[in-house]
Amino acid sequence: MSVTVRIPTPLRKLTQNEPEVEVSGNNIESLIDNLDTNYPGIKERIYDEADNIRRFVNIYLNDEDIRFLEGKSTAVNDGDEVSIIPAIAGGILMS
């Protein structure tokens, strides 16, 4: 089964600057493993040392945050879209 994965700009150097890639998998975890097989180094930027999704990385399955589903065990289906979105911090509060 094929899933479209949207790659954030900071990780595109690992996907030859492709903003979207097609990857297979049964759930988010296997999808990321296959993504790393095709684009080495991407998993270490998404997962921490304990093999969990980093706190500052948000992953959405068809516009649903996987944290509110089953996390990295969330099942994916053919034709689904997964977005990897790094959290943005900083800036100044303007009043």
- CATH number of the 3-86 domain: 3.10.20.30
Please report the pLDDT score of residue 15 as a whole number.
96
Using the predicted structure, report yes or no on whether residue 11 has a pLDDT greater than 90.
yes
Q: How far apart are CA 10 and CA 90, in angstroms?
A: 17
Please report the pLDDT score of residue 60 as a whole number.
98
pLDDT digits (tens, 9 = 90+) for 18-45: 999 999 999 999 999 999 999 999 999 9
pLDDT digits (tens, 9 = 90+) for 59-68: 999 999 999 9
Residue whose C-alpha is closest to residue 54's, from 19, 26, 87: 87
